[in-house]
Amino acid sequence: MTENASLFAPSRDPLTIAVLVLPQASILEVASTLDPLRSANRHLGTDSYRWRVVSPDGAPVPLTCGISLPSSGPLAAAEGADALVVIAGFRQAEVATRPLIRDLARLAPRFRAIGGIDAGAWVLARAGLLDGHRATVHWEDLEDLAAAHPAVDVLPDRFVISGPRFTAGGAAPAADLMLHLIAARHGAALALQVAASFLTTPRDGSEPQISPHSPRGPHLDPRVSAALARMEARLDSPEPAAVLARRLGLSPRRLETLFRAGLGTTPGRHALDLRLQAARRMLTDTRHPVQEVALRTGFASPTAFARAFRRRFGHSPGTARRGGGRAPFGQSAAGARSEMSPASGGA
């Protein structure tokens, strides 16, 4: 991992970070970015880390949970900070307007480093700030970011540092990234103290966002976790339960027993539900055609997809796309999580 020595290197100099929070971002991602820095200051007994929150127009930012986050001003108020971090979530193609993208590209050289959390990577990519760099984004968006921005080397890592650019896939990876920053500047001991304050353990950036070793519950059998990872990695080409069991060195009956004990369902039903949930996200969060959504989630035809979708959710894929399905709290069902595809607009 190549790091920007001016930021991720031992230093006792104060570090000021400006955080550009876009509407429909997650409060958890904001807290995961700022609270480790606050805790580090507490342990150090000095304000070694300083921050200010800015918004596109300087007004309070409406977050996905319905709370408005106070702002110190518009993007211009970020000037003078050492680093700029962009936090974005749902509907970034709408809330990251073209004027904001232009301003971001214009102001970028004034910061020593620029980062993106979750869909913040989309915003940086649209501004051309990730071209020639390695980057990551939330795992749901990895394939689409890579397709929309081929000049960016998109990785499935928890967080990525590439010269003066850094990105994290979501809230937990953002905390890992901040712990890494604290360790780089003030030592691993301080980072561990901060992690202990939040009852967590630092994770390496190169770890995949989803893996067989990811924690999935205190009582879940590791073989079920491994099966879930395989299912999630193969939404477009699902494995029959018998094949999945064989890959894991189990009999189909044993795998079903483990799934019923751990999740209360069968491997086949759970795999189908994962595919349909992914399809619903694509319908509400992207502009991919329904036929492409069907293919991406492993259905041989739009007809088979529509039939399974209606059985699961009680309405058609078209109804979900028009906003007739249920949406996450505080988010319009018709709103896009991210740019997702060239057809969805953006800069």
pLDDT in tens, 201-255: 999 999 988 765 555 555 789 999 999 989 988 999 999 999 999 999 999 999 9
For position 337, what pLDDT does the model report?
A: 45
Look at residue 329 in the predicted model and tell me its pLDDT: 34
Q: List for the chain the helix, strand, coil content (%; round to 5).
A: 45, 15, 40
Dist. CA 35–CA 38, nearest whole Å? 5
Interatomic CA distance for residues 226 and 143, integer angstroms: 22
pLDDT value for 300: 93
Domain with CATH 1.10.10.60 in the chain: 222-328
Q: pLDDT at position 295, please? A: 96
Beta carbons of 4 and 164 less than 8 angstroms apart: yes
Burial of 210 from C-beta contacts in 10 A (0-12 / 13-18 / 19+): middle
Give 270's Cβ-side CA count (13 Å radius).
21
Q: Both tokens of residue 288?
A: 């991919």
Which residues in the chain land under pLDDT 50? 1-4, 325-347
Identity of residue 109: P
Architecture of 222-328 per CATH?
Orthogonal Bundle (1.10)
| CATH class, range 15-197 | alpha beta
Alpha-carbon distance of 166 to 145, in angstroms, equals: 15
Q: Which residue has the tokens 């499935």?
A: 156
Give CATH 3.40.50.880 domain extents, the chain: 15-197
Q: What is the pLDDT of residue 287?
A: 84
The single-letter DSSP state of residue 25 is -
Instruction: Kindly state the tokens that stand for 101.
Output: 């993208």
Structure pTM? 0.79
- Report the alpha-carbon distance of residue 62 to residue 254 in Å, rounded: 48
Q: What per-residue confidence (pLDDT) applies to 136?
A: 98
Q: Check residue 140 and give its pLDDT.
A: 87
DSSP 48: -
